[in-house]
Chains A and B, each alone.
Chain A
Amino acid sequence: MSLLTIKNLSARVEEKDILKGFNLTVNPGEVHAIMGPNGSGKSTLASVLAGNESYEVTGGEVDFDGKDLLDMAPEERAREGLFLAFQYPVEIPGVSNVNFMKAAVTEVRKHRGLEPLVAKDFLAYMKEKKELVELDGKLAGRSVNEGFSGGEKKRNEIFQMAMLDPKLGILDETDSGLDIDALRIVANGVNKLKSKDKAFIVITHYQRLLDYIVPDFVHVLYDGKIVRSGTKELALELEEKGYDWIKEELTEA
């Protein structure tokens, strides 16, 4: 059974239609890359799936692991195992990463019928995940994203993803603003989290990230829908030729 099935999804923000009949099926164990020029709807897709209420869904349906995703509040989606690594993670001054994660992990565990971890076990769990994604120890003790560099924020997103152990991880342009070392660390983190029951949607503007996170499928999003799908070779082709040839093809057709 597929993990995520998106059928004919349409959405708009501030009266402007962004997604116009978007279709996608993601099975467990798969990595899907979604590429596309600026303004094609990539980040809208991520926001709509996560339940950001600034976006209005105007049509279509989304099935997530047998449940109606669009019917769920954002926190329920998260507890059901949908994780969004934000393009611009927000700062929460005064709230330490440890406390933030403790609250989040406790909620997710509760949803899965598990008791909260006692402090000692939680810290051990946190240490394990920190090492997995090579997160600097001192970042964990600081306030959520406060004063973090761009790279640190992105790494913190991957760390949180590791902590919450989602079924589906959506990376919204996680590579933007990262130098090559940070990119490698972030990608390694994702690769270590990959398993046969988990899936990832990697949203990116450039092919670069896909050198490190190798996708099973690459989709090109243009004007609110997928206009082309293929394997990783498609990404290379895009890198070489840019997006214009697709636009041209579409106009001709």
Chain B
Amino acid sequence: MAEENQALKDFTEKEYEYGWSVDIETDELPKGLSEDTVRAISEKKEEPEWLLKWRLKAYRHWLTLKEPKWAHVKYPEIDFQDMIYYSAPKNKPEISSLDEVDEDMLKTFEKLGISLEEQKRLMNVAGSNVAVDAVFDSVSVKTTFQETLREKGVIFCSFSEAVKDHPDLVRKYLGSVVPYTDNYYATLNSAVFSDGSFCYIPKGVRCPMELSTYFRINAMNTGQFERTLVIADEDSYCSYLEGCTAPQRDENQLHAAVVELVAHKGAEIKYSTVQNWYPGDKNGKGGIYNFVTKRGICTGAYAKISWTQVETGSAVTWKYPSTILKGDNSIGEFYSVAVTNNYQQADTGTKMIHLGKNTKSTVISKGISAGFSNNSYRGLVKIGKNATNARNFSQCDSLLLSSTSGAHTFPYIECGNKSAKVEHEATTSKVGEDQIFYCNQRGLDTEQAIGLIVNGYCKEVLNKLPMEFAVEAQKLLSISLEGSVG
């Protein structure tokens, strides 16, 4: 058994595979945060006056706020003056073909195993459709497949481009789901966000391809504050994929993104995330602080928003992709796998806010804890007083891979309508030594066995991921968990 534990330990302590950084000349602001920083970002991005004003309102509001302490996570004080708030690759390439992309940058993506080249190949060969908007540090470098999308009237571009080319849409929806006053990190993001992705699907259009963004934090001491806005107009559909990796850095880096989704009447947005930011080393040194605000609203009847996330990275994760079910008969779904290992901490879950009649929500959360990590599910189901016949089903399962890790569940239910039906199920289990031995006896080593068992455990969630992501997510799970029964 000692040997087994050793194997598990080795697996768990596997080094981060995406730890590298590329020297690309960057154009960055000096460290520090002030009104001048906000103005400088806005100026560098040649933004209109209204946006600068909005940023400044957010910044001034932020000054009045205190960092929230309620999450079940611990980390040292963040020095917001010791960070760089804007870092852009110099000579932002204006490109029509991949050949023109900076070679180092292409190599970066190749190392990630998700290169644009590959995406392109995938599309040609297997008929797979993925459009990629790559966010390299703060500026969106490249958006592929814009042509195909344009034919359908789909807008998919960097946030900065959207500000320039579609100011009315941005102005109408920016902050409409996550107002600049929302919370400490969302407010900070509103003040200093540098770029992100923007997506608009017109009425009745079914987006012909998966829309995909890959985020990476490259430069040292840069906080990454992206802003994503996805609007699905009436009876439209889109599937949006977001993936993240960050190179290995000793100091913790802050990542405070905001994602806003708007689904109008009869529209459906499927938003999938695979997050493997650098989790820190096995002693808990370094790693990303991932403090993200993600929220969607079903504004009209029969709208649907579905969040799927596979979270394996970051030193500290603080994230609750939520859905406001305003339209009657609208649907919210949340499928989550959160893996913590070594000294990682995750406090994640969802909020389902039922306002409309016959609204329905489903929450499936799978938490997996190994090493000395802590993994918490925190969820709120709120039934408004007019939400007649609202339904919720929540299932929160925790799997422990070591006796030194922790799993916690904090479900909150607020019910304001008697006709509502809210169900909550929770389980906690350990990977059985008998399961591992059974796999061993069939020729699989302990690493493979755990990968298989954990993937099986998460199947319900992994099944919700688009094909392109499912395979990657499965590999990630195996990598981040290599061996952890104690």
* Contact surface of A with B, Cβ cutoff 8 Å: 50-54, 73-75, 77-79, 83-84, 86, 89-90, 92-95, 99-100, 103-104, 107-108, 111, 143-144, 160, 164
Contact = CB atoms under 8 A, between A and B. Distances in A.
Given A79-B443, A95-B452, 18 more contacts: A50-B437, A50-B441, A53-B1, A54-B1, A74-B440, A75-B440, A78-B442, A84-B441, A90-B432, A90-B434, A90-B438, A92-B452, A92-B456, A93-B459, A95-B459, A104-B444, A107-B448, A111-B443
Nearest to A101: B442
B445 A73 contact: yes
A53 B433 CA distance: 10
Interface in B426-461: 432-435, 437-446, 448, 452-453, 455-460
B151 interface: no
A108 B434 contact: no
B283 to A, nearest CB: 29
A213 to B, nearest CB: 21
A80 to B, nearest CB: 9
- Secondary structure at the B interface, as helix, strand, loop or mixed, is helix
A100 B451 CA distance: 11
Interface string B210-239: 000000000000000000000000000000
A107 B443 contact: yes
Contacts of B161: none
A94 B459 contact: yes
A54 B3 CA distance: 12
Contacts of A93: 456-457, 459
Given A53-B3, A92-B456, A108 B443 contact: yes
Contacts of A84: 441
Interface in B3-32: 3-4
Contacts of A111: 443
Given A79-B443, A93-B457, A94-B458, A103 B452 contact: yes
Please list the 3 inter-chain residue pairs (A to B) with the smallest Cβ-Cβ separation, ordered nearest first: A94-B456, A95-B456, A94-B459
Given A78-B440, A93-B456, A94-B458, A103 B448 contact: yes
Contacts of A50: 437, 441
Interface residues of B, number: 26
Contacts of B460: 94
A75 B455 contact: no
13 contacts: A51-B440, A52-B437, A73-B440, A75-B440, A75-B441, A75-B446, A92-B438, A92-B439, A95-B453, A95-B455, A103-B452, A111-B443, A144-B456
A89 B438 contact: yes
A94 B457 contact: yes
A127 B202 CA distance: 48
A74 B457 CA distance: 23
Q: Which of B3, B440, B455, B460 has the most CB of A within 10 A?
A: B440
A93 B459 CA distance: 9
A157 to B, nearest CB: 10
A54 B437 CA distance: 10
Contact of B444 (A52, A77, A86, A107): A107
A164 B21 CA distance: 44
A54 to B, nearest CB: 7
B456 A164 contact: no
Contacts of B435: 90, 92
Nearest to A77: B441
Given A94-B455, A94-B458, A95-B456, A53 B442 contact: no
A215 to B, nearest CB: 23
